[in-house]
Structure 1
Amino acid sequence: MSPAKTLPTKDCAVCGRTITWRKKWERSWDEVRYCSDACRRRSKGAGAGVDASLDAALRELLAARAASATVCPSEVARAVGGDEWRDLMEPARAAARRMVAAGEAEITQGGRVVDPSTAKGPIRVRRVR
């Protein structure tokens, strides 16, 4: 394959991370929906209800702020989880990635938009400008 050729991508239905085409998926690329077995299990388990709550909380927090304001995923986790919010940090980041995949939000670090699939460390979420 030539280096100039780009591989097709799609977003994971659960966490929003980018899935890049692989040779082993050549025959079943249209059916690939999840980036990992963990996401596949989460889509069928109790996590699906929590994910919907996190999505709704993130949308509410963004709507309540100025158009240029940002939200920290920990605020979303606290809104849904109360005192047990720490376990919801990664699912809150996944909710932000899903909003990015839907074109509703951007993830920033240091005020600059970053790729949500590769962002490490503290992030902020804002509406698309």
Structure 2
Amino acid sequence: MTPTKICQRCGRLIEWRKKWENCWDEIRYCSARCRSQKLNKTDQQLEQAILSLLAARPRGTTICPSEAIHTLFPEEQWHDHMEQARQAARRLVAQGQIEILQKGQTVDPSTAKGPIRLRKI
């Protein structure tokens, strides 16, 4: 079985490659783009907003990532921050705090496309 890791920036799965054989322990990002865009204050705030929204709801209830965006950026277009919110959700999945759902079923955060919902584990 090939070893895997989770990208520290976007939360996507990183699969082992032969060229990383001697430096696998140092690999933290899936791409040059993720390596150049380190986590910032907004990323941390989105993670906290997701967790706060889920904590305020009954167990088993889901939220849309856009709800977290609205709490931080009430006046801005939520579409502009959607990928950043999805990345925050993927990082929280990797930490074992939430799960990502589509049509009520848990999905792989690295491959989920389309609308998603978030639920606390």
Q: What's the CA shift for 1:76?
A: 1.0
- Seq. identity, %: 55
Structure 1: distance between partners of 2:90 and 2:75: 24
TM-score (norm 2): 0.95
**1:117 aligns to 2:110 (yes or no):** yes
**1:37 aligns to 2:28 (yes or no):** no
Alpha-carbon deviations, 1:8-33, whole Å to 9, x = none? 00101011101000011111100000
**1:78 aligns to 2:70 (yes or no):** yes
Letter of the structure 1 residue corresponding to residue 6 of structure 2: D
| Larger helix percent | 1
Greater shift, 8-17 or 83-92, is seen at: 83-92
**1:89 aligns to 2:82 (yes or no):** yes
Structure 2: distance between partners of 1:72 and 1:97: 13
Corresponding residue for 1:3?
A: none
Alpha-carbon deviations, 1:54-103, whole Å to 9, x = none? 01101100100111000101111111122223211001001110110000
Corresponding residue for 2:94?
A: 101
Structure 1: distance between partners of 2:8 and 2:27: 10
CA-based RMSD of the aligned residues comes to 0.9
TM-score (norm 1): 0.89
Corresponding residue for 1:25?
A: 20
Corresponding residue for 1:55?
A: 47
Moved over 6 A (4+): none
Gaps of 5+ in 2: none
Q: Alignment length, in residue pairs? A: 120
Letter of the structure 1 residue corresponding to residue 22 of structure 2: R
Letter of the structure 2 residue corresponding to residue 9 of structure 1: T
**1:14 aligns to 2:6 (yes or no):** no
Structure 2: distance between partners of 1:86 and 1:79: 14
Letter of the structure 2 residue corresponding to residue 95 of structure 1: A
